[in-house]
Amino acid sequence: MIPQSRPSTEWRGNHARRTGRRRRFLWLHVRARGVVLAAAGVAAVALVAWWAAGWLVNLEWTGGADARVPVVVGAPLLGSVLVSAGLEGKDEEFERSLAVRWPVFRSIHVAGAALAIGAPLAVTGLWEPRVYGAFELVRNTLGFLGLVTLAAVVVGARLAWFLPFGFAGVIYIATPQPLTEATAWWTWPVQQWSSGVAAWTAAALFVVGTLAYVVLGSRRAHSR
Amino acid sequence: MSRLVARVLKMELWRGTAPVAALSIAVAGIATLFNMSEYWAGRWAPLAENLRMILIVLVPLAAAAGAWQGGRERRRRIGELLGSTARSPWQPLLVSWTSVVLGTFVGLAVTWTAGAALVAPVATYEGRHWWWSVVVAFAGLAAASAVGLAVGRLIPNRLVAPILGIVFYVVGGVATYQSGGTQWLMPTVSNSRDGASYLEPQFQLIQITWLLALAAAALVVVGARRRWLSTVPLAVAVVAAIPIATGPGDGRWQPDPQARELVCADGEPQVCLARVNAFVLDDVAPKVREMLERWEGVSGGFERAIDRTSLSRDERRRAMPGNGPQGDEMPDGEQDHASVTEPGVDLERTVVLDLDNLISWNATLARRSEHGKTLELVVAEAAREAYGCEVGAGVPEAAWTAMSVARLWAAGMSDEQPGDGTWVSQEETQAFEHLRSLPEAEQKAWMGDYLAAARDCDHAALTELAGELR
């Protein structure tokens, strides 16, 4: 005799079907958002960043870890641009009509992207991590992701790359030298970890961008 | 140009990426150019060189704009529709590219004009062949947008534009790290040459040929029905690239004797600047003269000041024996120029004026550079540069103290730190206070002894002098 507490065969069948459907939905979602391709791209970026950082530091006339600024700015920027395409579906309007808790999906999406970019980049920058290394790579990952998500809310995911791309290009060359704390609120990508303002600015951008994206989602195509 | 083509081009200009390209290049260009205005204010050739420097940011923007334009037909799913028209594929492609190029050109022209508006009223030297550098900058944007357009057409992905932009950015960055001829394959230049050197027009013509042939090859690959035709511009590009890549790196810069000619202020003591910097002579001369007066009565003291830009490598070495051209100040391979100082001029008693960073955006003398340097500190540096041995680990601590005290005295400093990044220790401050408390004649005698010991590289005498101030 089957005990009362044990689920019936019918229940177990339904549960298995539901789990299977959920897994299938998740896999379809991951494929539709180009997550696999983006992950492969991020892995390639991390490897190139690793090589480039070593090359820069070992140039005859460079003075140590601070020669890695181009990598510290470029690698998180490229990682954020790669994941930006996945911030909206092919048909955002249609997706939103599904009975899916999109805010949860969106927050997992952003958190996953931060982890997927930040973790491998941090591993590549562990040498002198506080002097243009792991700490700065993680900070810039969060800052650029914040800019990408903010831009996705305002102009849509397909053009979300433009904001961090243009911003990074300008500040890289327009930052007043020597670096000071007074300008850190807008020159945060090139600042050293010792700049508290830079770290807080990047963190604030990440929080604001993520919140806006989680609540509002990417701007829909028809309103563009 | 037929009326129809003009109409299509006008529509492309307004509806394509051209307005965004023009705006982003103008904004990024002006922001970056004016951020480094101290390197070009009042000088034509440095303006052109700095325009080439900021291409490291502008070329990726042009490439991204081209790639975004190139992917437009696919994004709007009108490729088949366009294919069914009676037009050859190269015609819409050429119009499309022309619109992007015009957009980027407008952005760059606005940037250059903004700089030129500040240079034109004050420039004291018209420069030599710098306009070729500006033409190369425009050719660079044309090539980048053509390559971007081709890649955008060939690779079906929305992210092609930013990724290509970042790739261009990395390639441009790597090129500036090169010391050989390959650096010239990119339209960017790694650093500005303070207007006292120039690039030969023939060489810049080869660069323009290389860039335009590359653009043509990229366009033919995606626009022509017979793709093999692209081998013709490609061959031209390779032929032009070979002498560029295999030629010298920094050795391409030729000294410009006219730019380095000395222009002296009326009166004594002599204060002279290079012709290219002479627009600040009226600001510089009275202040420098005031500081040179401090050396009157000091045995072996300084009696004139000359712009560093004018001095040849050998002259710099003689004027600053322990601190002469080192590291990247005069890169290997860069050609030196002939002496401009009169024979018999005692460079040992000459203050070498390094006005780097001391010229403000409106072409006047800045009170303090962004690195904290002032004209007073520049002039006072001569006291430290009098030290005749190579500065390094072997210098005794007391000699450092003596050099620092002499510099503070020459700058007329009081108790505060110089503020230029150099740090004066407690011991040095006390020694300086001791020197200042002495009667003026004794101060000058100490400075005379210091100069003699420093120039002779006499560590024992320097140690003794520092000991006198304990």
- Closest approach of A173 to chain B, Cα-based (Å): 6
Strand intervals (E) in B283-438 = 304-307, 350-353
Task: Kindly state the tokens that stand for B23.
Answer: 């705006």
The residue of chain A nearest to residue B36, with distances taken between CA atoms, is A174
Alpha-carbon distances of A210 from A77, A107, A108, A214, B310, rounded to whole Å: 16, 7, 10, 6, 56
Pairing, β B350-353 against β B197-199: unpaired
Asked if A173 and B35 come within 8 Å (Cβ–Cβ), the reply is: yes
Residue A108 buriedness (CB in 10 A; 0-12 / 13-18 / 19+): exposed
Which amino acid is present at B138? Answer: F
What six digits make up the tokens of B49?
Answer: 């060189």
Choose the mutation target among A72, A162, A163, A177 for the interface with B, i.e. most B CBs under 10 Å. Answer: A162
Q: Report domain extents, chain B.
A: 3-255, 261-468
Q: In total, how many domains does chain A have?
A: 1
Chain B residues in contact with A158 by the CB 8 A cut-off are 158
The per-residue pLDDT string of chain B (470 residues; one tens digit each, 9 = 90 and over) reads: 688 888 888 888 888 888 989 999 999 999 889 988 888 988 999 999 999 999 988 999 999 999 998 888 777 777 777 777 777 878 888 888 999 999 999 999 999 999 999 999 999 998 888 999 999 999 999 999 999 999 998 988 878 888 898 888 888 887 877 778 888 999 988 877 788 888 999 999 999 999 999 999 999 998 877 888 888 999 999 999 999 998 888 888 888 888 888 888 888 888 989 999 999 898 888 988 888 888 888 888 888 888 888 887 777 766 665 554 444 444 444 555 555 555 556 677 888 888 877 888 888 888 877 777 788 888 888 877 777 776 666 777 788 888 888 888 888 766 566 666 666 777 888 888 888 888 888 888 888 888 888 888 888 888 888 888 77
Residue A56 covered by a domain: yes
Instruction: Please report the ipTM that was assigned to this predicted complex.
Output: 0.71
What gap in Å lies between CA B29 and CA B103, rounded to an integer? 13
Cβ-Cβ contacts under 8 Å between A and B: the total is: 62
Q: Does A39 reside within a domain? A: yes
Of residues A97, A87, A55, the one with CA closest to residue A212 = A87
A2 is a domain residue: no
Give a yes or no: residue A20 inside a domain: no
Residue A15, in any domain of the structure: no
Tell whether A18 is covered by a domain. Answer: no
Find the domain containing A201 and state its range: 34-223
Structure tokens at B448: 């005379």
A201 belongs to a structural domain:
yes
Say if the Cβ atoms of B32 and A61 lie within 8 Å: no
A95, part of any domain: yes
Interface contact B28-A170, CB threshold 8 A: yes
> Which DSSP state fits A7?
P
With beta carbons less than 8 A apart as the criterion, state whether B133 and B54 touch.
no
Q: Look at phi and psi of residue B184 and say left if phi exceeds 0, alpha if psi is from -120 to 50, else beta.
A: alpha
Distance CA B397, CA B401 (A): 6
Residue B56 in tokens: 């490291």
